[in-house]
Structure 1
Amino acid sequence: MNAAVLALLLCLASAATYATAAVAQERLARREATAEGGNRSLLRTGAWWASAGLNAAAALLHAAALRYGPLTLVQPLGALTLVAAVPMGARAAGRRVASGEWRGTLLTLAGLGLLLLPASGPAPEETLSFSQVLVVAAASALAIGVLASRRAARSGLRHAAASGLASAVASALTQTVAVSAGRGGELLSARVIGVALLVLTFAMGGLLLSQTAYQGGLGAPLAVVNIVNPLAAAAIGIALLGERLQGGPAGVALAAAGALAAARGVLLLTRTAAQGAAPLPQARARDRSDLVGVKPAPAPESATVS
């Protein structure tokens, strides 16, 4: 099978799994906003660990895709998560997808599609040196700390940006591990083991940051994650791994137009989230019952359910 086709199939499976995990995280985040204990209480729930397991499975599929496709190709395909997660999240909340959510999702995807067009190339061969790994990890950790600090975090979108950056770094480092593993002899080297530990650190950081970001809703934070992630990963791939955007100036223009369109899509999702499509009363009761462990009272016979 062609390497690019295999990378695409693995990306599709990864995106579907990530979408399921994101919807579960968003529901947990909404409960966290009203429950005592915050993240610490979530760590004691089976639902949170189930969502973490889904994220881990999706990450493994993503890592396999990175073995067969370059960062500039694989990362933008993660936007497919948004296609699945927005309607899944609306259904889980007991409401219909708002028209603004559809427009924002489609515009974000169109923008990321334009970013994807100039991205192509053979299966990756280059890996980051250990010194490059340390530089990338240190610079990214500093940027994540600034984005996620309490003083700067005026909205969940900052946490979403920090989560996208952490996930991009984890993916870039994962590619180094995956390519090295394909060479056999390097798999158990100190460099690869050290990089693998950093992958786990950044992946877990991205998971916890996204959990916080989803307290304000699912669509806009997930869109930000899906924009920051491929852009940061592409920057690493182009700067350090010799990857290139195809098409010369025209390719760069396409990528710039895609970035603008995706940003517009995020704005639409943010406005829709701010306007708020309220869940049905039974959906709110279901969420409260999940917190206290009791069943919600049955709806009156005259209640209308769509």
Structure 2
Amino acid sequence: MNASLLAVVLSLLSAVGYAAAAVAQERLAARSPGTGLLRLLRGGAWWGSVLLNASGALLHVVALRYGPLTVVQPLGALTLVAAVPLGAKLAGRRVSATEWRGTALTLTGLAALLVAATGPAPDDVLSVREALLVSAATAVFIGALCHPGVRPGLRHATASGVASGVASALTQTVTVAATDGSASPFGLQVAGVAVLVAALATGGLLLSQTAYRDGLGAPLALVTLANPVAAAAIGLTLLGERFRGGAAGVVLAVGGAGLAAWGVIQLSRAEARRTAAAAPAGLPGLPTPRQVPETGHRTGAPDTPVSAPSQ
């Protein structure tokens, strides 16, 4: 089995682990939408989702050793594809036609992207200076996304995807530098960058947990899209990765990415429609009728005592 094929297989298994973790996190958030972080940390269910995430991350780390970022990261979109039927099964419902269509579009786009991006095993790594600069820029970007405002779930999902994508890029530096003998496992390039990876990965996990309070589809779609975009940007600009076939390869990669993105949008729309259909009936925005105390007063009457009849 060549390196690229091994990276693809490991990435597929990693996507299944991440999908199971995402479904578990979403179900936990739905059961207790107001749960604080400390209460989550005391719950066994949340730690179960952490273990699922860890299994997906371990497989992802090994995949990054054998495949370039432009191959491994787009396969993360399969997390959403796997999460859809898994979530449907746990919820006791059937997968809709829109969800199947979104799945097919995503898989087709990924296939085109893989044809253009498949390349040799990675051999370039980020320097300590580059890793620090990338981490600092990521922290600033995440801070801007996490300010108070409207639609926090979608902003937190985008921040989670960026954090995870950058963590993957830094992880590749750690795995390659530690296994090819170019750096000491206890040196700054390995140990120092590993600390940055841990910080970004933990931040991405916590941000995704808060994002899933708004449901699974749209937040997971944004996590899925932001992750490979952030990682591929680092791979193409700092690690010398390239698409095969020159200009034609770039066109194929862009077309595949667009098709996969459209499939992800279809999946998120199906999730949004299902969430809206499951919401309680009623007109949003109307005030709840005021309960009138049984004091004998007419509605809208001044609060004056009722005079007793004269004797």
Q: TM-score, normalised by structure 2?
A: 0.83
Contact 2:157 2:222 (C-alpha < 8 Å) held by counterparts: yes
Contact 1:6 1:65 (C-alpha < 8 Å) held by counterparts: yes
Seen in structure 2, the aligned counterparts of structure 1 residues 149 and 94 have a Cα distance that, compared at 3 Å, is farther
Q: Separation in 1 of the partners of 2:159 and 2:188?
A: 28
Deviation at residue 208 of structure 1 after TM alignment: 1.1
1:76-115 correspondence runs (5 A): 76-115=74-113
* Aligned counterpart, 2:236: 238
- Residue 163 of structure 2 is aligned to residue 161 of structure 1: no
Contact 1:156 1:216 (C-alpha < 8 Å) held by counterparts: yes
Letter in 2 for 1:157: L
Deviation at residue 198 of structure 1 after TM alignment: 0.6
Q: Separation in 2 of the partners of 1:245 and 1:148?
A: 33
Q: Separation in 2 of the partners of 1:116 and 1:269?
A: 21
Q: Which has the larger radius of gyration?
A: 2
Seen in structure 2, the aligned counterparts of structure 1 residues 13 and 266 have a Cα distance that, compared at 3 Å, is closer
Contact 1:76 1:113 (C-alpha < 8 Å) held by counterparts: no
* Aligned counterpart, 1:70: 68
Seen in structure 2, the aligned counterparts of structure 1 residues 275 and 28 have a Cα distance that, compared at 3 Å, is same
* Aligned counterpart, 2:203: 205
1:1-306 correspondence runs (5 A): 1-33=1-33, 35=34, 37-151=35-149, 153-154=150-151, 156-184=153-181, 185-276=183-274
Seen in structure 2, the aligned counterparts of structure 1 residues 247 and 23 have a Cα distance that, compared at 3 Å, is same
Q: Separation in 2 of the partners of 1:82 and 1:75?
A: 13
Unaligned runs of 5+ in 1: 280-306
Q: Which runs of 4+ in 1 moved over 4 A?
A: none
In the TM superposition, what whole-angstrom CA distance separates every residue of 1:157-199 from its partner, at most 9, and x where no partner exists?
Answer: 3222211111111100000100011034521102311100110
Q: Separation in 2 of the partners of 1:169 and 1:39?
A: 24
Give the % identical residues: 62
In the TM superposition, what whole-angstrom CA distance separates every residue of 1:130-166 from its partner, at most 9, and x where no partner exists?
Answer: 1100111111111122223222x51533222211111
Contact 1:213 1:221 (C-alpha < 8 Å) held by counterparts: yes
Note the aligned Cα RMSD (angstroms): 1.8
Q: Separation in 2 of the partners of 1:170 and 1:183?
A: 20
Mean alpha-carbon deviation: is it higher for 139-148 or for 228-237?
139-148
Contact 2:212 2:219 (C-alpha < 8 Å) held by counterparts: yes
**1:258 partner SS:** helix
Contact 1:112 1:227 (C-alpha < 8 Å) held by counterparts: no
Letter in 2 for 1:21: A
Deviation at residue 32 of structure 1 after TM alignment: 2.8
Q: TM-score, normalised by structure 1?
A: 0.84
Q: Separation in 2 of the partners of 1:109 and 1:165?
A: 22
Q: Separation in 2 of the partners of 1:216 and 1:23?
A: 13
**2:54 partner SS:** helix
Equivalent residues, number: 276
Seen in structure 2, the aligned counterparts of structure 1 residues 31 and 103 have a Cα distance that, compared at 3 Å, is same
Q: Separation in 1 of the partners of 2:18 and 2:232?
A: 20
